[in-house]
Amino acid sequence: FTGSAFGSAAIWQYESLKSRVQTYFEEARADWLDKIRPQKRGDFRKQVNSWWNNLTEGQRTVTGIIAANVFVFCLWRLPGMRRIMFTYFTSDPSSRALCSPMLLSTFSHFSLFHMAANMYVLWSFSSSIVSLLGCEQFIAVYLSAGVISTFVSYVAKTATGRFEPSLGA
């Protein structure tokens, strides 16, 4: 999984760089149109774009991860989703589904405080680590760390004979 994650991140990084170079040249040609067109006032989409563009690359990357964690947290609150959530979003070495929970449980938090603390820490160091690694490699590290820690949890549970489900990485 880790090799695939980093291989995919390298391809994604190349395509992202290529796209940024193309966008730069397209925007340079289109800038003169923005000066001619009248600007709308109070445009909500423009305000959101302005907020988004003021975030660092790390904060933009982590915003997606936080959104995924919040979405999964909300799914835990739906009674009709409990069976699916326990099957695929908890890690349990005695479960029928072993591989997908290794990744999906990384996004799973049952306690609001636990999720908020984890997301705050992730947000706090995101700018520096993404500037060091790049967003693609950071996501590969995040996902790989989740899968590897779940695997270690599987090994520890099997060694101790305790086969109860757990959440998170």
**Residue range 53-97, pLDDT digits in tens:** 888 888 888 999 999 999 999 999 999 998 888 888 888 877 777
**Residue range 6-30, pLDDT digits in tens:** 888 888 888 888 888 888 777 766 6
Q: What is the pLDDT of residue 165?
A: 79
Give this prediction's pTM. 0.75
Domain layout of the chain by residue ranges? 112-158
Q: Please, are residues 165 and 94 in contact by the beta-carbon 8 Å criterion?
A: no
